[in-house]
Amino acid sequence: MKYEFKIPFFLAFRQITRGSKWTFFLIIFLMAASFINLVFVSSLFKGIIKGSNEQVINMHSGHIMIKPNSGKDVFENRDDLIEEIEKIPNIESATTQFEIGGNLALNEKSGNWIINAINPDEEVKVTKLFDSMISGEYLKSGDREGIILGKQIAGGDVAELDAFSLHANVGDTIIANFNGVEKEFVVRGIFNSKYMTVDNTAFITYAGLESIFPALVNQANTALVRLIEPGEEQTAINQLKNAGIHGTFYTWEDAAGIMNSVTSSFLTIDFILSFVATLIAAVTIFIVVYIDISNKRQQIGILRAIGVKPYIIRSAYVIISSIYSVIGVAVGAGLFFGIIMPYFVAHPFVLPIVDATLAIEPGDFIFRMESIIIVSILVSLIPSFMITRIKLLNAIWGK
């Protein structure tokens, strides 16, 4: 009994090392392709989710967004607020905004949009709006007449809501109307943040806002905070509260709004597609192992005839499948990390909401590796059970 345990390993290694090289490479290729199929779509979704989250942080909310407490409309001293916020450890920088609704008009076109007043010098330390200009230039501090427009306001080929836009270009003068108070602004630039809320926003400087409403000097109704170490939002919020900063605090996830439901939908789709990919991998591996075993039906019959127990034969095929799947997964992982991922990092998928690269978490990757190996072992058991259960004579005759 003790000697027969080595036989499955002996048969498995001999079959792999001395069997058909073409069969070996074909099976490894199929295993690798199945694994890449399982990982690729998931990585793409994770990449889109990661990119979308970064869009929210970089274009909209920073890591933390602070609004005045209910009952208060504004922070009274925005310079002090920034100074207090930036004292907290793990906070890289902060900026403030004054969000106001207004009507923008150009020629016969007009519409109501959010207009955000900012200090461009502070804003660039927290958001990356400056990096998403598609024409013209970013605002400069003290520019009282300048305005930059999100692509949905400016319109053009890149705007999904072009029909409702102003059809504005850099250099155009547009009229901003805030509850009956009008001021002309010159379009300095147009940006495409790929984040719908922001692309439906116009930005002016505090100087521009205060030239209309002098009473709003040094006031703000939103503060955005960028952390040194992302992921510590709740700790930073507690530190801000303990530092006596009053307001309603939101993490970037709270501020993500519709992107949260998009992320949730992607995760659901990812789960379904991963299940289907695993199923396809299982069926592929089953077919490959079944054909391989069927071709060896007579050989298996001979093994049984000379006294080899069925469990030894089954174990040999399980070992063979394990080796195939481990090598296939290793090859698949090598191709994924060595070729596919670097390619898509260099050439991201350009989507309307984000430029998506591939992203996968180590735990998820390991789980998928384990899944494909376990699935291949389980499905290889089925044909090996089938083949060792047929009548001995039929097996010997190859029936």
Partner 1 sequence: MDQKVIISIRNIEKTYNLGEIKVKALRKISLDIQEGEFLIITGRNGSGKSTLLRQIGLLDWPNRGQIFLDGDEVTHLKEKHRRKIRHKKIGYIFQEYALIPELNAIENVMLPAMLIEPTKSCKPRAIDLLKKVGLENRLRHQPKQMSGGEQQKVAIARALINNPKILFADEPTANLDSIAAGGILEIFERLHAEGHTIVMISHEQDEKSYASRIIELRDGVLL
Residues that bind partner 1 (CB under 8 A): 3-4, 6-7, 10-11, 14-15, 17-19, 298-299, 302-309, 312, 392-393, 396
CB of 325 to partner 1, least distance (A): 20
Report residue 328: phi and psi, to 5°.
-60, -45
Nearest CB to partner 1, comparing residues 29 and 311: 311
CB of 306 to partner 1, least distance (A): 5
Nearest CB to partner 1, comparing residues 225 and 308: 308
CA 81 – CA 94 distance, rounded (Å): 9
CB of 382 to partner 1, least distance (A): 21
Nearest CB to partner 1, comparing residues 7 and 170: 7
The pair of three-digit structure tokens given for residue 349, joined into one six-digit string:
């998928």
Q: Are 340 and 358 in contact (CB under 8 A)?
A: yes
CB of 319 to partner 1, least distance (A): 14
CA 156 – CA 152 distance, rounded (Å): 8
CA 328 – CA 142 distance, rounded (Å): 61
Nearest CB to partner 1, comparing residues 272 and 393: 393
Which residue do the tokens 């009548």 mark?
391
Nearest CB to partner 1, comparing residues 181 and 291: 291
The 3-state secondary structure of 178-208, one letter per residue: ECCEEEEEEEEEEECCCCHHHHCEEEEEHHH
Nearest CB to partner 1, comparing residues 10 and 367: 10
CB of 15 to partner 1, least distance (A): 5
Q: Are 279 and 273 in contact (CB under 8 A)?
A: no
CB of 18 to partner 1, least distance (A): 4
CA 312 – CA 9 distance, rounded (Å): 9
